[in-house]
Structure 1
């Protein structure tokens, strides 16, 4: 009987040893997995690309920035003032209805040609309804921009902003926003306006709408 108890005790001890060995094996395997995973994660972090530089901000903050005409920017810097207005190639895939049309309203922002009045450059911006059932009013934000170039290239630089809240569609006094910027001198400079429209209590899928560019005898102060 004593031998039986001894044998039973030996079996228990052996079973405990096997369980301990399995637990140790799991711990070792987990540790190895962590050691292999950490270098992989570190390697992935090292090759993660840095965010792209804001070229427009570099141009605007460059001490050598010059305000130029559209022709000069195109000839000396290869700038394309109408790049955003170039139509895309005809699509070969089925036409998809634009998201804003699903909401029963088509609209866009418009800016007229910039002009100089009383030694200030300015532009008018407003919104127009192209069709559908649209809200009666919208908030129009207009930016007046001048064309600047530096060693980094050329960009449109916002000089002034004006907001017209709750205005009806169409141009005219009381319906548009008009940002102004004083002229430092009468050097020819390219100017344009751009418009963002947020219709009242309505979904807004649009961004900015660019107006036509024009050279004015006005360099921004």
Structure 2
């Protein structure tokens, strides 16, 4: 007499765990070259009172390279504006610092600087963004500078300064 076993297997397969390769979390890193970026961007504004060609005015948004501050162990970047022919003497300047990460993205870090300043720049006449350093590992930084003319509508473009690798890393 013979027996046939239907619907069941004589062998059992042990589950083999699948090894996963988790992607490491993104971390601050040195930045690639700046590719000819500028420290200046042209902007324009328009006055509600003016008509015709004189309704449009021009100005420049400027910023410096992000650097390690001489007064504290922190990344620092400045922004200011230079008036061309706009009917205002002040603008609100905003500076945010960005740190480069090894996933190719820039992340805003630290304290955003904002100040209402007169045209021209210089100490006391600019906004300053700051980010404390956790260590002195070489890391890529840049700043984003926005100028909003007081009392005059202006274009929304922002200046992104060229990337610089400095001895300041923040996690």
- Return the TM-score normalized by structure 2: 0.69
Which of 113, 121, 136 is equivalent to 1:162?
113
Which of 129, 133, 140 is equivalent to 2:93?
140
Larger Rg: 1
Distance in 1 (CA, whole Å) between partners of 2:44 and 2:63 is: 23
1:148-187 to structure 2, matched below 5 A, reads: 148-150=101-103, 154-160=104-110, 161-165=112-116, 167-187=117-137
Distance in 2 (CA, whole Å) between partners of 1:207 and 1:135 is: 19
1:29-40 to structure 2, matched below 5 A, reads: none
Which of 66, 74, 78 is equivalent to 1:120?
74
**Aligned partners of 1:104 and 1:134 also within 8 Å:** no
Partner of 1:189: 139
CA RMSD of aligned residues (A): 2.4
The runs of 5 or more residues in structure 2 that have no matched partner are 1-22, 47-52
Partner of 2:25: 64
**Aligned partners of 2:44 and 2:57 also within 8 Å:** no
Distance in 1 (CA, whole Å) between partners of 2:105 and 2:45 is: 29
Partner of 1:110: 62
**Aligned partners of 1:108 and 1:209 also within 8 Å:** no
User: Which structure shows the bigger proportion of residues in helix conformation?
Assistant: 1
Q: Secondary structure at the match of 2:109?
A: strand
**Aligned partners of 2:37 and 2:162 also within 8 Å:** no
Pairs aligned (count): 135
User: Which structure shows the bigger proportion of residues in strand conformation?
Assistant: 2
- Return the TM-score normalized by structure 1: 0.55
The runs of 5 or more residues in structure 1 that have no matched partner are 1-61, 75-80, 86-97
Cα deviation digits, residues 136-161 of structure 1 (max 9, x gap): 101001111111122xxx12211131
Q: Note closer, same or farther for the CA distance 1:204–1:63 as it changes in structure 2 (3 Å cut).
A: farther
